[in-house]
Amino acid sequence: MSKRKVKDAHLPVGECITQVQTILRERLCHQQLPDKPEGIEAQHKHLLELLKRTAIHGESNSVLIVGPRGVGKTMLLRCVLRDLLEEKEAQKNLLQVHLNGLLQTDDKIALKEITRQLHLENVVGDKVFGSFAENLAFLLEALKKGDRSSSQPVLFILDEFDLFAHHKNQTLLYNLFDVSQSAQAPIAVVGITCRLDVLELLEKRVKSRFSHRQIHLLSSLTFAQYLERVQSQLSLPDDFPDTKFAQDWNDSIKTLCKDKSVEEVLQRHFNSSKDVRSLHMLLMLCLSRVSVAKPAIKPADLLEASRLCFADAKANMLHGLSILELCLIIAMKHLNDVYDGEPFNLQMVHNEFKKFLQRKSNSMYNFEQPVIMKAFEHLQQLELIRPVDGSSAKTQSEYQLMRLMLDHSQIMEALQKYPQCPTEVKQWGMSAFG
Amino acid sequence: MTYYPGGITHGVAVGSTRCGMAGLLQHPGYDEERLQRVAGQLPCREAQAGMLLSLMGQPQQFSYPSIFIYGHRASGKSHVTHVLLKELELPHATVSCVECVSVALLFEQVLLSFFGCDAASLLPRSPSLSDFVRIYRQQCSQSPAKQTRYIVMEKAELLRDTDANLLPALLRLQELVEDNITVILLSEIAWDKFRPNTGCFEPLLLHFPDYSKGELQQILSQDKHPSYSAEFYSSYINILLGVFYSVCRDLRELRHLAALNFSKFCEPLAEGKVKETDTHKLWRNIEPHLKKAMQTVYLREVSSLQWEQMQQMEERESGALRGLSAHTHVELPYYSKFLLIAAYLASYNPARTDKRFFLKHHGKIRKANFLKKNEKTSNHLLGPKPFPLDRLLAIFYSVVDSRVAPTASIFSQISSLVTLQLLTQVSHDDQLDAPKYKCAVSLDFICAISRTVNFDIVKYLYDFL
């Protein structure tokens, strides 16, 4: 408590909180670059050296950065570029072309983009919008005309590299690697991908021109480092305008990280995934709970955020179903148990449901077939059940074979959590065989 | 040195009680009066709205690149987002994925609402994502975002059916356009079913839980009739929920049903038979009516207009008007009827029993053996089986009394039954040589048909022996 007594604050608390939110949100949501890449110093050095050789000495290179999602591939590259551009010589020398496999879905679009980013459109005037072959020829000529000593090096950055490998004939990749292999204008091709088998995707001729230099970013984080990462991500920088507040905040973060329950939660997150993005998501949820009335992150916030992160979406959806829909799901579960996972249709489900009604219950749930069909269709819309084959127009809807997309335990849990579930329905659900 | 009298040390205690209280939306950076107006429009959704608001943060701050909101139909997903974005006057574009049959429409709508029609007209004829991002960046450099821009995608499950790279690109749009932009996806389906196989930038998941019975009651009671008291309307809603709640939790559907049946509920009151407080009598009057409504209006068997007309006609019992499904009865030629009956028998009877059913002198078939069946193989559970044309004709000649020549007309009637979708052709490998069919009509339908030609079909059905 005493830590948050901001007696000698230079700024009002509201202002401080706004500052905190602004700074931390930029870090967590906008993926702001850190000052120093942590844990990947070797890769950073390697890549920086490589790109320096291209930028300054005019050496052609190609490299692939491979690693799972959210491990910091783009961050590494951007850090390297930032450090590279600090050097005068590189800065005035280097041309950059950024391509993304998600955006440049075929070679024609990619080529247009390259021309645009190299500011060549005015050079060729309307020729840019001519045929693909012409465009490629022009670009290649422009690249070929240059030689090691005189022409400016170009840095090609291909984000989502694996998607470029799906282009027809891999023409773009072939040409880029070809230029990088022969004594033409110096270029460096840097691919970023999350697929470990990316080399298998390349054609033989493309593969042979690639330098096979790969930088693997595999998270080798230990839990202690993970905790440290949490702390550093949440801490305020030294240049925060209100030093007293920043000091208190950082102290409170430090005590937060030492808390036993917090450590437990973080351990759980660490066990499920080591990537930074999911950590950011967790911290973002915590941060959103910080307000003027509650100007610090409490262990309870972290517990709540973790609960949100680990919530089972299907269980959430099951909670909102009507009684009739829940009954149908129980009937499907029994059918699955009895017939060992064979697909079922509406008639069978209805039959099973009728058996339940005859035996165990009064006629409270005696619904007409069309009402049941409507409930069944709603379940299909929610994709809790899925047709076995796609040909829906062929068979009558009540005879279309379906599969249940839920797990046994999910249904049982939903039954337990269901608000005001009638006892007989619950018992029916619990009983081993319909 | 500024001293804060008391407020800070007690802040936590005050804050926690405030959070517990419903109806208060608070966030620095937004006008308090506006927030109150927002809260007034969002009954029973304060917690969700507050959560969303705190994730969005202050207008000039960065927000998470993508937020995925899921929940059941009519659980207030788009209502909450719209009210928030509109009342707080945040720059946003709302796109319904149902409307955007091509990505071009989507891009155009987004550019239009952020930068005006000049930007939208810059798009080439069939734009790619690359064009969109390029134009967006261009425009953005001219008018950079002072506030977070929001793109709201409704019915986001349809994004899965478009280009494979649209959804991953939208999820990392903030990174691609380097602008303060957040994509909000709204869907009924859980996120697990969206994830592309090479993964993507994971959005922040937000669940909108279903309304409980009490909440439904509270919301529905809000649109009360001006000429009746609030308690009266709320008791009506109570009765309505008593009938429909076990089947339907969709707020929109319930609201529709409530509006349709209210005049019937008020009828005894207008006639002076009962008082407003006599709930039991009112319930007795309305309950069978509502039960009937479940079988008709709820299934859209009769349209709401017809239902209202029916309520006005006092003599005619509601439901006496034939619904949609009653109109499925079709007038067929005599032989077509028998062809359809034969097709039904061929589809739902096992071939080994044909001899017993349709031959006059079928020899001895052991009754015990013949009747040995279990429920699992019942065709009325499993659905129709395909049969060859020969079997159809054999059964047809056996069930039809007179001698019929196999003329072209008989065969053309078979194919016209296929075009009427009463039969379906199963395998398309050969049109002429031994085609296979399936019968696609229900038991009720075929019973009605066979009654018109005095044929007792149930006697010939193996499942009902």
The pairing of beta strand B204-208 with beta strand A61-66: unpaired
Instruction: Let me know the angle formed at the C-alpha of A57 by A52 and A63, rounded to the nearest 5 degrees.
Output: 50
DSSP string, A368-415: -HHHHHHHHHHHHHTTSEEESSS-TTTS-GGG--EEE-S-HHHHHHHH
Do the Cβ atoms of B190 and A317 come closer than 8 Å? yes
Residue B177's SS3 state is: helix
Instruction: Let me know the angle formed at the C-alpha of B410 by B406 and B415, rounded to the nearest 5 degrees.
Output: 135
CB contact under 8 A, A21 and B58: yes
Do the Cβ atoms of B65 and B173 come closer than 8 Å? yes
The CA distances from residue A184 to A144, B252, B422, in Å, are 5, 67, 71
Whole-angstrom Cα distance, residue A212 to residue A61?
10
CA dihedral in degrees (B122, B126, B131, B136; nearest 10)? 50
* pLDDT at residue A145, as a whole number: 72
Closest CA to A332 of A316, A349, A347: A349
Alpha-carbon torsion (A311, A314, A320, A324), positive or negative: negative
Scanning B403-442 for CB atoms below 8 A from A yields: 424, 438, 440, 442
Whole-angstrom Cα distance, residue B28 to residue A21?
11
* pLDDT at residue B2, as a whole number: 37
Scanning A368-407 for CB atoms below 8 A from B yields: 368, 370-371, 374-375, 381-383, 394-396, 398-399
Whole-angstrom Cα distance, residue B216 to residue B372?
52
* pLDDT at residue A368, as a whole number: 86
CB contact under 8 A, A374 and B298: yes
Whole-angstrom Cα distance, residue B247 to residue A366?
11
What average pLDDT score do residues A226-250 get?
A: 89
* Mean per-residue pLDDT of chain A: 86
φ, ψ of residue B187 to 5 degrees: the values are -155, 160
Residue A2 predicted with pLDDT over 50: no
CB contact under 8 A, B15 and A291: yes
In one letter, which amino acid is A102? Answer: L
Angle between the A276-287 and A299-310 helix axes, to the nearest 10 degrees?
120
CB contact under 8 A, B384 and A351: no
Scanning B122-151 for CB atoms below 8 A from A yields: 128-130, 133-134
Q: H helices within B25-149, ranges in order?
A: 32-41, 46-56, 77-87, 103-115, 117-120, 129-142
Interacting residues of A124 by C-beta distance below 8 A, sequence separation 6+:
A115, A138
Q: Write the burial class of residue B310 (CB in 10 Å: 0-12 exposed, 13-18 middle, 19+ buried).
A: buried
* Mean per-residue pLDDT of chain B: 84
Whole-angstrom Cα distance, residue A17 to residue A245?
9
Q: Identify the band that residue A149 occupies on the pLDDT scale cut at 50, 70 and 90.
A: low
Closest CA to A318 of B311, B199, B70: B70
Q: Is A25 in the B-facing interface, judged by CB distances under 8 Å?
A: yes
Whole-angstrom Cα distance, residue B86 to residue B97?
20
* pLDDT at residue A184, as a whole number: 74
Q: Identify the band that residue A346 occupies on the pLDDT scale cut at 50, 70 and 90.
A: very high
Quote the tokens at residue A46: 């390697």
Whole-angstrom Cα distance, residue A278 to residue A71?
10
* b/e map B16-29, b = 16+ CB within 10 Å: eeebeeeeebbbeb
Q: Which residue of B has its CA nearest to A13?
A: B8
The length of chain B is 465
Best of B55, B125, B130, B426 to disrupt the A interface (most A CBs within 10 Å) is: B130
* pLDDT at residue B396, as a whole number: 94
Residue A66's SS3 state is: strand
Angle between the B32-41 and B77-87 helix axes, to the nearest 10 degrees?
160
Residue B246: how many other CB atoms lie within 10 Å: 18
The CA distances from residue A293 to A236, A289, B8, B163, in Å, are 19, 10, 8, 45
Scanning B64-103 for CB atoms below 8 A from A yields: 64-65, 70-72, 75
Q: Write the burial class of residue B240 (CB in 10 Å: 0-12 exposed, 13-18 middle, 19+ buried).
A: buried
Closest CA to A219 of A30, A83, A66: A66
Helix count and strand count (H, E) for chain A: 22, 7
Q: What are B392-449's pLDDT values in tens digits?
A: 999 999 998 888 888 999 999 999 999 988 998 887 767 777 788 999 998 888 998 9
Scanning B197-226 for CB atoms below 8 A from A yields: 198-202, 204-205, 207, 209-210, 212-213
Alpha-carbon torsion (B352, B356, B361, B365), positive or negative: positive
Looking at the complex, report in whole angstroms how far the Cα of residue B130 sits from the nearest Cα belonging to chain A: 5
φ, ψ of residue A62 to 5 degrees: the values are -140, 140
* pLDDT at residue B317, as a whole number: 56
Do the Cβ atoms of A327 and A426 come closer than 8 Å? no
Whole-angstrom Cα distance, residue B424 to residue B420?
9
DSSP string, A361-375: --GGG---HHHHHHH
The CA distances from residue A9 to A244, A245, A291, in Å, are 6, 7, 17
**In chain A, what residues touch B209 (CB-CB under 8 Å)?**
316, 319-320
* pLDDT at residue B28, as a whole number: 78
CB contact under 8 A, A347 and B380: yes
Angle between the A323-338 and A369-381 helix axes, to the nearest 10 degrees?
80
The lowest-confidence range among A267-276, A401-410, B298-307 is: B298-307
Residue A159 predicted with pLDDT over 90: yes
CA dihedral in degrees (B326, B331, B334, B337; nearest 10)? -40
Residue A225 predicted with pLDDT over 80: yes
Do the Cβ atoms of B213 and A341 come closer than 8 Å? no
Q: Write the burial class of residue B286 (CB in 10 Å: 0-12 exposed, 13-18 middle, 19+ buried).
A: buried
Q: What are A353-374's pLDDT values in tens digits?
A: 988 888 875 667 788 888 999 9
The residues pairing with B153 across neighbouring beta strands, listed in sequence order, are B95, B185
* pLDDT at residue B3, as a whole number: 36
Q: Which residue of A has its CA nearest to B206?
A: A308
Eight-class DSSP state of B42: -
**Low-confidence spans in chain B with pLDDT less than 50:** 1-23, 315
* pLDDT at residue A363, as a whole number: 63
- Does ipTM come in above 0.85? yes
| pTM, full prediction | 0.89
Residue A159's SS3 state is: strand
Looking at the complex, report in whole angstroms how far the Cα of residue A293 sits from the nearest Cα belonging to chain B: 5
**In chain B, what residues touch A67 (CB-CB under 8 Å)?**
none
